[in-house]
């Protein structure tokens, strides 16, 4: 690590990453492994074919408890918290008063509380925001010191059930508490790769041995942030700070699917969340939507990366930009996501991206690029 990197925080698995030959990069204030000696391409393919272990301990875990926790959470998240079943998980968006996305997160209802998993770069701001908005109605307990591991891939369940037999009971977006060598592990069948897999929260001091036990399974290899990024992009999943941010609404980001009927106009608990007037207005067509997130595929073998401007083939003026882009390891073609006006968001629309001063023809395509393989039972 360089002198600059020495100032970064490290996760509980840092020594293990070094032992495994990881190359580190700064990410969300941490020194995180971007890849291991086999390289990004092989890591990506291994997750698609077998199982990969990710250290995502830089992310923030916040426990929300108290009799009014669910009702309080519904004032800041446009999801159905009150109706969420025990050990059921949901994707949620933390919204500002103007409907902008402050963060995207996962929420799971446990026996006596709710666990939020938020983005690492946002966790301190998220906690402050939640304290200010709902801290008087519930108890917010940050657990930023806990480790979080993700095991992803079609053979993840096969590998994990040797350590935690209960894992095979889960289906996509459900969770449970398990014991491993006397250590309590909370696991959910979820992840951010489009593959079947699990995320596991456990005490930091137990994480290195638990990770070693997983890596001892023949299906499992360590995977860095580089492959995590290419996997999530193929799955059409947003990276906060790139594809969504404070200036983006759920409708613009094509994430309206995350707002259930019960919170929409006409629903039993319509509105009542931060930014509801604008977000519901955009859903109903009474508020303007000037851009939409779309999938894009280059028609030439030229990777198109963020923040390449997008324009119509017959007009050099930019109408949008790429927010994430790379050469897809699974499809072997350049893919990207970006924002364009609604009139240009229909699949089949041809656009140009400007790469090093030259136009690269692109086509709007449906998301995701690679179909998900979640285990739904």
Please state, in angstroms and as integers, the Cα–Cα distance from residue 278 to each residue in 98, 99, 208, 294, 343, following that order.
7, 6, 45, 21, 21
Rounded to an integer, what distance in angstroms lies between the CA atom of residue 210 and that of residue 364?
Answer: 43
Confidence of residue 87 (pLDDT cuts 50, 70, 90): very high
Q: How many of the other CB atoms lie within 10 Å of CB of 218?
A: 10
- The pTM is what? 0.96
Can you give the pLDDT at residue 5?
Answer: 55
Can you give the pLDDT at residue 2?
Answer: 47
The backbone torsions φ and ψ at residue 256, rounded to the nearest 5 degrees and listed phi first, read: -65, -20
pLDDT above 50 for 33:
yes
Can you give the pLDDT at residue 1?
Answer: 45
Q: pLDDT tens digits, residue range 253-279? A: 999 999 999 999 999 999 999 999 999
Whether the CB-CB separation of 151 and 214 falls below 8 Å is answered with: yes
Mean pLDDT of 285-307: 98
* Longest CA span, the chain: 65
The percentage of the chain sitting over the pLDDT mark of 90, rounded to a whole number, equals 98
Whether the CB-CB separation of 117 and 102 falls below 8 Å is answered with: no
DSSP 191: -
Residues 6 or more apart whose CB falls under 8 angstroms from that of 279 comprise 78, 95, 99, 249, 250, 251, 259, 273
Mean pLDDT (the chain, rounded): 97
Q: Which residue has the tokens 């947003």?
A: 238
């Amino acid at each position: 690590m360089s002198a600059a990197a020495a100032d970064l925080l490290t996760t509980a698995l840092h020594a293990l990453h070094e032992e495994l030959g990881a190359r580190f990069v700064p990410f969300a204030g941490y020194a995180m492994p971007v890849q291991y000696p086999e390289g990004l391409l092989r890591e990506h393919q291994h997750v698609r074919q077998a199982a990969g272990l990710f250290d995502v301990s830089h992310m923030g875990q916040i426990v929300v408890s108290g009799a009014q926790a669910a009702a309080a959470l519904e004032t800041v998240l446009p999801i159905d918290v009150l109706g969420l079943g025990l050990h059921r998980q949901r994707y949620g968006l933390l919204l500002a008063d103007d409907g902008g996305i402050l963060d995207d997160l996962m929420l799971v209802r446990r026996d006596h509380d709710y666990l939020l998993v938020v983005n690492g770069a946002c966790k301190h701001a998220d906690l402050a925001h939640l304290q200010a908005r709902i801290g008087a109605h519930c108890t917010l307990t940050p657990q930023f010191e806990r480790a979080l591991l993700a095991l992803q891939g079609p053979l993840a369940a096969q590998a994990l059930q040797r350590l935690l037999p209960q894992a095979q009971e889960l289906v996509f977006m459900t969770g449970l508490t398990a014991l491993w060598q006397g250590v309590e592990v909370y696991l959910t069948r979820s992840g951010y790769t489009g593959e079947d897999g699990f995320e596991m929260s456990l005490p930091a001091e137990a994480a290195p041995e638990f990770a070693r036990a997983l890596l001892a399974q023949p299906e499992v290899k360590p995977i860095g942030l580089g492959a995590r990024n290419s996997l999530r992009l193929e799955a059409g999943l947003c990276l906060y700070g790139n594809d969504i941010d404070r200036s983006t609404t759920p409708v613009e980001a094509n994430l309206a699917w995350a707002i259930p009927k019960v919170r929409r106009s006409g629903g039993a608990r319509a509105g009542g969340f931060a930014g509801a007037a604008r977000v519901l207005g955009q859903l109903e067509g009474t508020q303007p939507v000037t851009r939409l997130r779309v999938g894009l595929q280059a028609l030439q073998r030229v990777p198109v990366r963020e923040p390449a401007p997008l324009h119509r083939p017959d007009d050099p003026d930019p109408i949008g930009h790429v927010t994430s882009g790379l050469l897809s390891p699974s499809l072997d073609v350049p893919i990207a996501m970006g924002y364009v006006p609604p009139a240009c968001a229909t699949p089949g629309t041809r656009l140009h991206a400007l790469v090093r001063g030259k136009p690269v023809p692109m086509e709007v395509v449906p998301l995701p690029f690679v179909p998900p393989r979640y285990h739904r039972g």
